Amino acid sequence: MNIHEYQAKKILAQYGINVPEGGIAYTPAEAKRVAQKLSSRGPWMLKAQIQAGARAEGHFLEHEAGRKGGVRKVTQIKNVSYEAAQMLNNTLVTEQTDAKGRLVSKVYVEKFETVKHLFYAGMIIDSAVSTITLLISDVINESIVRIADFQTDKILRIPLKFDAAISDAQIMKILDFLLLDEKYLQSFHDFLGKLLFTFVNLDAQMIEINPVGILPDKKLVALDAKINFDDNALFRHPDIVRMHDDYEDDARKLRAYRSGFYYHEFEEGTIGCIVNGDGLALEAMDIIKAKGYSPACALNVKGGVDKDKIADGIKLIMTNPRVEGIVINVLGGFLRCNLVADGILSASQDVGLNMPLIVRFEGTNKDMARAILEESNLQVTFAEDMNEAVDELVTQMEVNA
């Protein structure tokens, strides 16, 4: 789960990490009031709150939003409401959003901080060695994946333990890498120690402070903040669950999420996939692409749920306006095939099935599942494997078209 920058900064502040003073605004007038309350004089920073990075380099789709991006420095108070009005209720597109962009419903107003030095700090989990890795780079305002791809020596990677403090030697290594003096040792210790504590305590999967600023008094300040939490650990953090911004997810994704399923929509494509398991989803995508088609959406159904939830998930695919054909591949283990068959039946009765549907069942209760669908009068075709299923689907879709 992702949260907004202003929420992440609030969390960091609770953990004793220095962040600029700021407040959230939903209207231009509110933005001005927040700015005046923060400081009698500018400059201020106005930051569009969407859950995607590269906002400063992004652009708005609407003409009236002006040509600037989603992060704006404003020097005079009279311009605060003007700039806020340009951003609010307009659509910001960045390299991390899709082409449709995201609606900006709130801006975060901050006091501008004058800093001497800027750098990137991030924490992630390294699955190869099962540790937390601290990432430091002097390349700022750039996606860390892109830096890793093309300038990998610009990243310093420091393995950290979840149950031990960061050592002086590690901090010295960071200072050397950033060409900074030893006098910053204490403030780096303080800042990164608190960041690690936040990461571990809140079950974060990724924290990025891009950038960290060094203030004239040597203290560090988080000028931006991005936290991604492990969905599997949210049961331990009801306070974070409450921060979830439903408007950031589209309605289908949200409904799937509430049924406990994973739903993903792709930018193009006409085939809806329903599978159980990560691997089958990957295989389905590979096979569909290899046949010159694209998946429109994929639903990953988990085991251990009732047939009503499965039906609800299948309806999401059936009612997606882009979907022209559906392929279902279930290898029953934990999830029993007959539950999926019941789900298909009940979803079809509710919303109607007016497109080709190819089903492949294997494993637990597959014969029972097949019998359920055969006894109904649904137009369902059965396949023996995924290749055959996609071949059959494509043929039927071409006949329909």
Partner 1 sequence: MSILADKNTRVLIQGITGTQAAFHVKKSIQGGTKVVCGTSPRHGGETHLDVPVFNTVADAQRACKFDASVLFVPAQAVKSAVREAVEAEVPLIVSIAEGVPVHDMLEIKAMLNGSKTLMIGPNTPGLITPEEARLGIFPENIHHKGKIGILSRASTLTYEAVLETNKANLGQSTVIGLGDDMIVGTDYRELLKRFMDDDETKAVVLVGKANSCYEQMVAEYYADMPHKKPVIAFIAGEALPYGYTIGYAADIVTQGRVTVADKKKIMHDSGMVVVDSMSEVHQILTDLQL
Span interacting with partner 1, options 106-114, 165-173, 309-317, 359-367, rule CB under 8 A: 359-367
As given in the structure block, the two tokens for residue 39 are 């400081």
| Shortest Å, Cβ 337 to partner 1 | 9
Q: What is the torsional sign of CA 206, 223, 57, 107?
A: positive
| Shortest Å, Cβ 171 to partner 1 | 20
The reply on whether position 207 binds partner 1 by CB under 8 A is no
DSSP conformational letter for 237: -
H or E stretch at 280: helix 278-290
| Shortest Å, Cβ 126 to partner 1 | 4
> How many residues belong to the site for partner 1 (CB under 8 A)?
57
The reply on whether position 275 binds partner 1 by CB under 8 A is yes
| Shortest Å, Cβ 10 to partner 1 | 21
Cite the DSSP H helix spans in 178-216: 185-201
- Cβ burial of 96 (10 Å; 0-12, 13-18, 19+) is middle
Q: Using DSSP bridges, classify how beta strands 22-25 and 107-111 pair: parallel, antiparallel or unpaired.
A: antiparallel
Q: How many beta carbons lie within 10 A of that of residue 72, not counting itself?
A: 22
In 3D space, the residue among 169, 173, 168 whose CA is nearest the CA of residue 155 turns out to be 173
The reply on whether position 203 binds partner 1 by CB under 8 A is yes
Q: In whole angstroms, what is the distance from residue 129 CA to residue 47 CA?
A: 37
The reply on whether position 157 binds partner 1 by CB under 8 A is yes
| Shortest Å, Cβ 360 to partner 1 | 11
Angle at 22 between CA 144 and CA 183, to 5 degrees: 60
Q: How many beta carbons lie within 10 A of that of residue 313, not counting itself?
A: 27
Q: In one letter, which amino acid is 196?
A: L
- Ramachandran bin of 352, using left for φ above 0, alpha for ψ from -120 to 50, beta for the remaining angles: left
Residue closer to partner 1 (CB basis): 53 or 69:
53
Residue closer to partner 1 (CB basis): 42 or 363:
363
- From candidates 40, 235, 238, 268, binder to partner 1 by CB under 8 A: 235
Of residues 73 through 112, those in contact with partner 1 by CB under 8 A are: none
At residue 328, the 3 state secondary structure works out as strand
Q: Are 325 and 396 in contact (CB under 8 A)?
A: yes
The reply on whether position 334 binds partner 1 by CB under 8 A is yes
Span interacting with partner 1, options 71-79, 305-313, 331-339, 347-355, rule CB under 8 A: 331-339
Of residues 120 through 139, those in contact with partner 1 by CB under 8 A are: 122, 124-128, 130-133, 135
- From candidates 216, 292, 304, 321, binder to partner 1 by CB under 8 A: 304
Residue closer to partner 1 (CB basis): 32 or 360:
360
In the complex, the residues that contact partner 1 under the rule CB under 8 A are 122, 124-128, 130-133, 135, 144-145, 148-149, 152, 155, 157, 162-163, 200, 203, 205-206, 228, 230, 232-233, 235-236, 275-280, 282-283, 285-290, 302-304, 331-334, 362-364, 385-387
